[in-house]
Amino acid sequence: MRRGRDAGTGTARLAALPPVRAVPAEDVRAALAGTPTVVVLDDDPTGTQTIRDLPVLTRWSAEDVDWALTQGMPAFFVLTNTRSLGPDDAAARDREVVRTCLAVARRRGIEVVFASRGDSTLRGHFPLETDVIAAEIEGEAGEPDAVILSPAYTDAGRVTLDGVHWLRDGDQLTPVAESEFAADATFGYRASRLADWVAEKSAGAIPAADVAELGIEALRGGPVALPTARVVVLDAVVDDDLRAAVLAILAAERAGARFVYRVGPSFVRARVGQEAQAPIGDAELAAAVGTGHGLVVVGSHVGRTSRQLDRLAERRDLARVEIDVPRVLDGDTRHLEDAVAEVTTSLARRTTVLSTSRTLVTGRDEAESLDIARRVSAALTGVAGRVAGSSAYVLAKGGITSSDVATGSLRADRAWVRGSLLPGIVSLWAPTAGPPLVVFAGNVGDDDALADVVDRLEAAACA
């Protein structure tokens, strides 16, 4: 099992890859007959960017889960938003969701498997979330055989090669630990090799020696056999690589193996037998959005989002309403009332951006940073919720922001993911009630992406 090469050889290695072995999505769809329904516990809403026409829940009562299970789809998403929670609260929420899903599935006679959808740049609660899932399903079907680890997001250039996770820009590869995402105040890390990352994030409880790598040569050479280990890392540069792995996983599951998945967006698309699809067409988009202007809610603080905001302002006449984070933390409620009034007035005339001040405020430790993030998000989504009814659509920029807008501002308990607005990124949700929601992760798209999406939405709203 390959441990891979030094990070600096990544670009040269990309040029020397064996040819892609075509694995059509229809082959996966054929293999799905009689297989369990996948319950995707999504730690923020951006895991839906690569798929279309699947249900998503933002709450998990037995009635909601029953609705999702009876839609006849190969998977559904449950938005847990655990990336915004501390470890204890995240574990408690996952435990509640899994127990509810198991109980409803048992009553319906439907078998389920669980995927913990995490960030393609490795931020989030790992291995805590897969540990919780494994502990809960052990009573139903025994201890899982392995955790399948596949953070790839091929559309956005997050690939795994020789067991190392990379950010891809054309033919250039950068180890993910050298990116701004690795310096996250809450979920930072040092390792780009996923075996080492697992050991790092588990504080040594899962040593690198217990992590196996299913490499690109095996995936493209075929037939594929899954290695035996506590954690199995999947190489993936294109979706065919993932579909090759999925066929091997399905065969192992039919033979009695049980897995828990910790995955990025691309694995979900491969696992449900969907291929990459073109963005939603103009006619479909015009039918989905309302009339008037849209509300763009921005909570993400990564540099990419700030650049996208600047470019949006250059290209479009905007109203910009900013919530000052220090004033929120000081409890200034009058400031929020003024923001509501300003947004309400501006939406009648033009696209309106509601954002937090761009200087990131962090705490003295992980817990305090999470508390600050929750308080700021509550203020932002509270204002958004009071004005969203006047908008043709709501675009939420940032993963946690998207979750809080969906649950707090729009109260979108059930929705369908209708597809993307750019190739493989930026998903459109159709809630069963309320305006459409555009989920736009903080860490995807080039500098023009936000402006491109808003242009499409505004044209549709005026059609």
Cα 100 to Cα 367: distance, rounded to the nearest angstrom = 28
Question: Domain residue spans in the chain?
Answer: 7-271, 282-461
pLDDT digits (tens, 9 = 90+) for 58-92: 999 999 999 999 999 999 999 998 998 899 999 99
Burial 407-426 (b: 16+ CB within 10 A, else e): bbbbebbbbbbbbbbbebbb
CA distance 442 to 352: 18
Residue 302's pLDDT is 75
Q: What is the pLDDT of residues 198-240, one digit of tens each?
A: 999 999 999 999 999 999 999 999 899 999 999 999 999 999 9
Instruction: Read off φ and ψ for residue 164, nearest 5 degrees.
Output: -105, 140
Q: Which two tokens stand for residue 98?
A: 């899994």
pLDDT of residue 43: 93
**Rg of the chain over all Cα atoms, to the nearest angstrom:** 21
| 110-124 burial code (b ≥16 CB/10 A, e <16) | eebbbbbbbbbbbbb
Identify the pLDDT of residue 8: 52
What φ, ψ does residue 4 adopt, rounded to 5°? 90, -175
The encoded tokens of residue 430 equal 């159709």
- Angle of CA points 92, 96, 102, to nearest 5°: 145
- Write out the CATH class of domain 282-461: alpha beta
Terminal-to-terminal C-alpha distance of the chain: 56
| pLDDT averaged per 10 residues, the chain (length 463) | 47 88 98 96 90 95 97 96 92 98 97 96 97 93 93 94 94 93 93 98 98 97 94 98 98 95 97 95 93 90 86 95 90 93 95 83 75 84 92 90 88 94 93 90 89 96 83
Domain 7-271, architecture per CATH: 3-Layer(aba) Sandwich (3.40)
Amino acid identity, position 382? G
List, in order, residues 6 or more apart from 264 with CB less than 8 Å away: 47, 117, 118, 119, 120, 150, 151, 152, 153, 158
